[in-house]
Each structure stands twice: as structure tokens, then as C-alpha cells.
Amino acid sequence: AGDEVITIWLATGRRVPPASLPLSVGVVVNNVQTLLNVAAAVETQTAVTQRTLTINGAVAEPITLTLPLGTSLREALALAGGATVANPAFINGGPMMGRLLASLDEPITKTTGGLLVLPSDHLLIERRMRSERTVLNQAKTVCEQCGMCTELCPRHLIGHELPPHLIVRSVSYGHIASLSSVTAALTCSECGVCEAWSCPVEISPMRINQLLKAELRANGVRYQGELGPVSPMAEYRLLPVKRLVARLGLSPFMHKAPMQEAAWQPEQVELMLNQHIGAPASPCVEIGQRVVQGECIAQMKGGALGAALHASISGVVSQVGSRSITLVRE
């Protein structure tokens, strides 16, 4: 479901301690596209100007294709033949950890994982549409403290303290069993297993963890806890993917999405200045300036952590804003 800590455990047997990086156990995790970008940067000094993504779900022609950064998701959907349902809703990323999109006018960035199209009344959309107040009230009303969210939490199974049921209890009733059990929310990977599989009464410990994490980070709180033993049931509590797909109502939307070469190019792109961890890049171009694909258009200043931004198409700078730079093809 996207948790690198579990990937490391399954692949190597090593366990990353809570609130630690994989490097602490001698491991670095990268996806294929990142490795391809690193190879291009080192071997040919090629900047990152495009992104490969899958467009799937309720679309006429599910595809995987590579598009210039800054292309709108609306244009990407059109390349897949458009939605096949009258009331589509859209998720940026996958069904477990993807983000509900407010608008298809959002541009493709370096971290866009894919575009998943579903009916607006689908379970996954309905869950993402619930307000924070609804999530909290529902948890306080119906959580029966069965402990299934904790029993099936992947990180808890490999020795992390993370106890979602105790966090739900603490947030709902102000009952704190121990400070570390609450701050352990900071170690949640937001994989969605508790919400998608574990809870028998349709609450979302993951959403509660998200809210609590934001509050704890705003107050400068850090988690401190030890790595415990692996649960003897850990390997038997991994989720069966086919059953998970069926439970999420995704069986009708699981299609092969073959890779295609796209000759199409956008007339304009909107390149976000913050597509990475750290500070936004600072524009180094002006309106009316002509740029070529791969040319640097925004840089990091003052030694700040971040990444430079490069033109994804050749054209003219039409807008330079506080959040993005717009290029128009000549």
C-alpha cells in the first residue's frame, strides 16, 4: 500500500525504527522513475521535465504515458478518451493513499502518481469527502474499541508502538493512556489499511492520525519510542490484494493500462515552484522571455533545501507568480 518501511521488512528482513529513516538500517528506497531521472541527470545532465503516469478507472482508454510537467490533468484525461461515467470524481495517485482532486485544472508535477477516475458516489470518493467534523463525530459515536485497526496496522505488526484504537480513544474522550501512544500518530504512514480493511464500523483512524499529526507538528512535538518485537502473526495478517480490491469496489475499474508513446504536446504548461520537499524554487526568468526545454527557470536561493525547476516545453514565459510559472508554446 505504499509504505516503504514494510517494503524494506519484506525484502530484507530489516526493521526501520519508529521516526527513523531507512538509511538508519542501511537502506535507500527509490521508485523506478526516480532512478531513471537520477541516471539521466548523471549520465547526460538531463533535467526532469516530464512525468510518466497512469490514467485508469472509469475511462474510455486506460493508458500509461509520459507528459511534460505542467500539463493539466484535464488534458491528460482527454488523452485517455475521457470519463465513461456521467458523474466522475478524480483521485491523484492510487486508491489507498491518493488525494481527492478539487479540479482537473491542476497541473502534473514531479510527484503526480496517476489519475484514477471513479463515480462520484463511489465508496473511496465518499470517504474522502467526509469533513473533519464528521470523521471525529463518527469515531466518538461508533468506535467500539475492538482493536482491529491496531491488530492489522502494518507498522504495529513489525514492532512500532502505533496503536490506532488508543489514539481514536484519546482524541474522542481525552483519555490518554500514555503520551507516547498519542505522539505515535507521527509514525503513521497513512497507508489506509485501518480505514479500507480493518474497521467494522466505517470510521477512519487514518484521518484522525492525519489531523493529530498536523497539530503535533505545529507544536513541535516529536515521537520518541523504541522498536518492539515483531508480532508472531505479522506474516499472516498481510492483506490479500484481490479481496482488498473487491472490498473497495474496484473490480469493475481494474484495467490494464499499456504504455503508449504520446506525440501530443500541450500548448501551455503551468510549472509549480514547489514540487518537492523543502522550500519553493525562486523564478529566474521574466514575462516575455523565451526558453528552451530543459532550461532552468527557477533556482534555490540562500542554500535552502529544494530542487531547481526546468522548462518542460520550449516557448515564452507568459506568467510568473508566487506559486507557478506558465509557459506558452510558440
In tens, the pLDDT along 181-191 reads 999 999 999 99
Look at strands 50-57 and 114-119 and give their pairing: parallel
Task: List the 315-320 sheet strands across, edge first.
Answer: 268-272, 324-329, 315-320, 290-291
Cα three-residue angle 230-220-131, rounded to 5 degrees: 80
Q: What is the mean pLDDT of residues 13-28?
A: 96
Q: How confident is the model at residue 277 (pLDDT cuts 50, 70, 90)?
A: confident
Confidence of residue 173 (pLDDT cuts 50, 70, 90): confident
What is the pLDDT at residue 27? 97
How confident is the model at residue 188, as a pLDDT? Answer: 96
3-class DSSP state for residue 70? Answer: coil
How many whole angstroms separate alpha carbon 194 and alpha carbon 98?
15
- Contact (CB, 8 A) for 16 and 10: no
The arithmetic mean of pLDDT across residues 239-265, rounded, is 93
Average pLDDT over residues 26-46: 94
Residue 298's pLDDT is what? Answer: 97
Burial 59-86 (b: 16+ CB within 10 A, else e): beebbbbebbbbbbbebbbebbeebebe
Cell numbers 493500462 correspond to what residue? 257
Question: Does residue 264 register a pLDDT over 60?
Answer: yes
Q: What is the largest CA-CA distance in the chain?
A: 64
For residue 2, pLDDT over 80 is answered with no
Q: What is the value of pTM for the model shown?
A: 0.92
For β-strands 63-68 and 259-260, DSSP reports them as parallel
Cell readout for 97 is: 493513499
Residue 178 DSSP code: -
Residue 182 CB partners (closer than 8 Å, separation 6+)? 166, 167, 170, 176, 212
The CATH number of the structural domain formed by 268-329 is 2.40.50.100
Closest of 255, 261, 258 to residue 84, by C-alpha = 255
Residues 89-130: pLDDT tens digits? Answer: 999 999 999 999 999 999 999 999 899 999 999 999 999 999
Contacts of 124 (CB under 8 A, 6+ apart): 91, 95, 118, 248, 249, 250
The grid coordinates listed for 152 are 492489522
pLDDT band with cut points at 50, 70 and 90 for residue 227? very high
- CA dist., res. 27 & res. 11, Å (int): 11
When pLDDT is averaged across residues 299-320 and rounded to a whole number, the result is 95
| Residues in contact with 1: Cβ distance below 8 Å, sequence separation at least 6, in sequence order | 96, 97, 154, 191, 192, 193, 239
Q: Please, what is the average pLDDT of the chain?
A: 94
If you ran DSSP here, which 8-state letter would residue 137 be given? Answer: H
From the list 139, 254, 273, the residue with the least C-alpha distance to 195 is: 139
Q: How far apart are CA 162 and CA 67, in angstroms?
A: 39
Domains of the chain, by residue range, sit at 4-44, 50-128, 132-247, 268-329
From the candidate CATH numbers 3.40.50.11030, 3.30.70.270, 3.10.20.600, 2.60.40.1120, the one assigned to the domain spanning 50-128: 3.10.20.600
Q: Show Cβ contacts of residue 269 under 8 Å, excluding neighbours closer than 6 positions.
A: 68, 69, 70, 71, 107, 312, 313, 326, 327
Residue 228 has what DSSP assignment? Answer: -
Q: What pLDDT is attached to residue 46?
A: 94
